[in-house]
Chain A
Amino acid sequence: MINLMDNCCSKCTHSPATPCSNYVLCRTAGPFCHTDKGCEEKRKNHINNVRVPSGGNYQQIIVCGGTGCTSSGSARLVDSLKEAVNEAGLSDRVAVKRTGCHGFCENGPIVHIKPEGIFYTRVKPADARDIVNHLADGQIVERLVYRDAAGNSYPHFHEIPFYAGQTLILLTNCGHIDPEQISDYVAVGGYRSLVKVLQHMTPEQVIEEIQLSGLRGRGGAGFPTGKKWAAARRAAREIKYIICNADEGDPGAFMDRSLLEGDPHSVLEGMIIAGFAVGSHQGYIYCRAEYPLAIKRLKSAIQQARQWGLLGKNILNSGFDFDIDLKEGAGAFVCGEGTALQASIEGLRGMPRVKPPRSTEKGLWEKPTVLNNVETLANVPLIIQMGAEEYRKLGTEQSPGTKIFALSGSLVNPGLVEVPMGKTLREIIFGTGGGIRDGKAFKAVQLGGPSGGCLAEQHLDLPVDFDSLSSVGATIGSGGMVVMDEGACMVDVARFFLAFTQKESCGKCTPCREGTKRMLEILERMCRGEATLDDLADLERLCRVVKNTSLCGLGQACPNPVLSTLQYFREEYMAHIVEKRCPAGVCAELVRYRIDENLCRGCGLCLKNCPVQAIRGQRKQPHAIDDSRCIKCGVCLSKCKFKAVVRS
């Protein structure tokens, strides 16, 4: 029994060819088919190796293997740690393991010692020996402990403010299990919901449970998942499909990536349950090609699930067949839209089609199709396991459960957070997120990517749920949350998002294809100080028309960044148009750099660094900038040690 999933001895005969309904439970609580203390022991050992209970004689060094930590060198770190463990002769009681993302990406690579819960940040391979040496003596490597801006240190995982405010239910596994080992997932209780469903529930009961839970789609629109499943169940067709939408394309969103990288089996389990509930035997995961690690882990997860009989024919001897194919996207944001995604799976251009018919009636290959996003599906096993009633205790009445957000921008703690629905923006940004970086003032938060809106100071006490946000012109979107400080120009932000949607428009419908182009051109003119008030009126009209008449949800939502900034930061637009001024000093054409004669010491640093020789001045004499030559690159500002360069 090399693996928890293996047969413990010759009496255990499970294989996909001879599936047994008790297989999953038998792994963790068994053996059921025979009595053998030895076999029971083997199981316990395997499980302890994953769960690492305190009080045991066993320790684990967990290294974050999310994309963020991987890019800051966590792979090399694992090697160094393993080497150090070997050198210290601890290899029989200390394991080094790579898991999924811990969400605290800014501070990576992250190391987490179990069962003590010691948490190290920014760990380098050179730190490996110190970490290992202190395992035995229970000491903490102080220099690697997380410290906040005020200098307080937090050596334990649960004390860190970033985690303290979170409710980790979806992300728990991400920081604890090896995503490439199905046995890890099973050891922490994985696939038990599937067993429950297959053994004790009818498809109708599953759908009812999901409906009772109030689960709403986490992809952005917040459509009730149970309702969707029920509609697909009703469609009287032989062939139906389950699609997992893993085409997470919003700039600044990486929730789904983290789930897929850190806990792929939870998504597979959700899909299999969905298939059972709806009466489908084939699932597809459509994952964007820009997520190579997620693709790799999904491939291995699917392969392992097949190998152990959790995918394929007659799953766990229930008579239910279900398999999953992985489809890689080819680089088109619009494929996040359900019908475009289906077209893409069919090998066509990812152009949305009109609804109705809804996908649940006629979706992929014209067959009833349920399309759920990654996070939604990951919620499913949880709901089955907890029960709808328990699940509803999380979050709000209309938006139960938790939501994962990708916090980014000018925050102290950017990263991935999971909080119950209904927390206020303030709690998330200033609590979990640690507030604005460098002591600057909060200006706005952009939610929901190119489909979402920008909210301002006055919205900070709004609860974050589907309905509250849409009432003020924003959406929860898929969960991207970009926080901006006073240095951000809202016209520039609107321009940025429009440039994105314009580039990603599929071109099928007139308003989106032509309208976003003109909206972008107007915003560009505004940023250059060339726009008029007529342009502003045109922009507002275009926003209305594009919103009202575009074919798909992406087109309809793409004016939101403009509309919301116009609504809450109108004076900034007016400054650009009327005064030809960018208050935040972001729009290059509207910015002037000037040297404050009183502060300039004539050190010559700016003069030396100016790429276009626009700065003149004698040494030790105040310098000056020649506006006609200045290209507004801002180098002088960043180089000046005396804050003598002023941007206006």
Chain B
Amino acid sequence: MQECHCEDKQMKLAQLLLKYKDTPGALIPVLQQAQEIFGYLSPELLREISAGLRIPLSRTYGVATFYSQFHLKPRGRNIIKVCQGTACHVRGGSKVLEAIKRYVGVETGETSEDLRFTLETVACLGACGLAPVMMVNEETEGQLTPDKAVKKIADCE
């Protein structure tokens, strides 16, 4: 387990808000940097940013949901995308998915509490010949078995 740096993070946020509180147009850089500190933009964080910059929360929310760079839910350090295309499905993709879920301990679309993984499914990765397939971060992994998939994931930080 990593050490918790909550206080550190709060301190960084306070400094960030202090730095930008009188700068017009600071919302987007502040959201970017806050997301860098916390990994994602939680409701509490958006509230704090709004209060700190004296920007209506509705506007902060509007901006945070407009740009694709911003995540309002926590994201893991590793993004796992398991293919759910037809080919993968009939080749045991769902078994692979189940094994990954068990290992990571989350449902599809969720992120593990230690923020190690975000588990997502995709319609088709276009690598049907290698089915079942998943993508871990930028790497495509094919011809998976449940064991092989878990082993691959276990290597991730």
Q: Do A and B bind each other?
A: yes
* Chain B residues, Cβ within 8 Å of A329: 67, 69
Instruction: Give B59-86 interface residues, CB cut-off 8 Å to A.
Output: 59, 62-63, 66-70, 85-86
User: CB-CB < 8 A to B91: which residues of A?
Assistant: 611-612
State the majority secondary structure of interface residues on B.
helix
Contact check, B29 vs A331: say whether CB atoms are below 8 A apart: no
From known contacts A330-B28, A609-B129, infer whether A348 and B88 are also in contact, taking CB-CB under 8 Å: no
Question: Which one of B31, B85, B129, B131 contacts A330 once the chains associate, using CB atoms below 8 Å?
Answer: B31
- Taken together as a complex, chains A and B put the C-alpha atoms of A613 and B68 apart, in Å, by 39
B62 surroundings in chain A (CB, below 8 A): 349
Check A611 against B67 for contact (C-beta < 8 Å): no
Task: Please state if A289 and B69 are interface contacts (CB–CB under 8 Å).
Answer: yes
- Cβ of B128 to closest chain A Cβ, rounded Å: 3
Complex contact A331–B32 (CB within 8 A): no
Known contacts A345-B25, A633-B129; A612/B66 CB under 8 A: no
Instruction: Determine whether the beta carbon of A344 is less than 8 Å from that of B28.
Output: yes
Query: Within the assembled complex, what's the spacing in Å between the Cα atoms of A328 and B36?
Result: 14
Interface string of A344-379 (1 = CB under 8 A from B): 111111100000000000000100000000000000
**Minimum C-beta distance from B143 to chain A (A):** 10
Instruction: Please name the residue on chain A nearest to B126 by beta carbon.
Output: A633
Q: Does B153 contact A (CB under 8 A)?
A: no
Chain B residues positioned under 8 Å from A365 (CB to CB): 24-25
Judge whether B67 and A347 touch: CB under 8 Å.
no
Interface size on B, residues (CB 8 A): 26
What's the Cα separation between A278 and B67 when bound, in Å?
32
Complex-state Cα separation, A639 to B59, whole angstroms: 54
In whole angstroms, how far apart are the Cα atoms of A346 and B66 in the complex? 14
Query: B91: shortest Cβ distance to chain A, in Å?
Result: 5
Specify which chain A residues have a CB less than 8 angstroms from the CB of B18 in the assembled complex.
none
1/0 per position for A590-633, CB-CB distance to B under 8 A? 00000000000000000001011100000000000000000101
Neighbour of B24 across the interface among A346, A350, A613, A635, CB < 8 A: A346
Q: Tell me if A's interface is mostly helix, strand, loop or mixed.
A: loop
Chain A residues near B129: list those with CB within 8 A.
609, 611, 633, 635, 638-639
Q: Does A124 touch B at the CB level, under 8 Å?
A: no
Task: Give the docked Cα–Cα distance between A615 and B69 (Å).
Answer: 44
Which residues from A are CB-within-8-Å of B68?
330-332
**CB neighbours of B69 from chain A (8 A):** 289, 329-331
Q: Is the pair B63, A348 in contact by a Cβ cutoff of 8 Å?
A: yes
The answer to whether B32 touches A330, judged by C-beta atoms less than 8 angstroms apart, is yes
A633→B86 CA distance, assembly (Å): 9
Residues of A close to B24: CB separation below 8 A? 346-347, 365
Contact between chains at A633 and B87 (CB < 8 Å): yes
Q: Is the CB of B63 within 8 A of A631?
A: no
A344 to B91, CA, bound (A): 46
- Cα–Cα distance between A609 and B128 once the two chains are bound (Å): 9
Establish whether residues B66 and A332, one from each chain, have CB atoms under 8 Å apart when the complex forms: yes
Query: Is B26 close to A, CB under 8 A?
Result: yes
Contacts of B115 in A (CB 8 A): none
Give a binary string over B12-37; 1 marks a CB under 8 Å from any A CB, 0 the rest. Answer: 00000000000011111101100000
Give CA–CA (A639, B129) in the complex, Å. 9
A328 and B66: CB pair below 8 A? no
Q: Is A635 in contact with B128, judged by CB distance below 8 angstroms?
A: yes
Task: Count chain B CB atoms within 10 A of each CB in A350, A506, A612 and give the residue with the most.
Answer: A612
The verdict on B90 contacting chain A, using a C-beta distance below 8 Å, is: yes
Once the chains are docked, how many angstroms separate the CA of A347 from the CA of B32? 11
For residue B31, which residue of chain A has the nearest CB?
A: A330
Q: Give me 24 A-to-B residue pairs in the complex whose CB atoms sit less than 8 angstroms apart, sorted by A's number.
A: A289-B32, A327-B28, A327-B29, A329-B67, A329-B69, A330-B31, A330-B32, A330-B69, A330-B70, A331-B67, A345-B25, A347-B24, A348-B27, A348-B63, A349-B66, A506-B66, A611-B86, A611-B87, A611-B88, A611-B90, A612-B87, A631-B128, A633-B129, A635-B87
The 8 closest A-B pairs by CB, nearest first: A633-B128, A611-B87, A330-B67, A347-B27, A331-B68, A331-B69, A635-B129, A347-B25
12 new A-B pairs (CB below 8 Å) besides A349-B62, A635-B128?
A289-B32, A328-B29, A330-B31, A347-B28, A348-B59, A365-B25, A611-B87, A611-B128, A612-B91, A633-B87, A635-B129, A638-B129
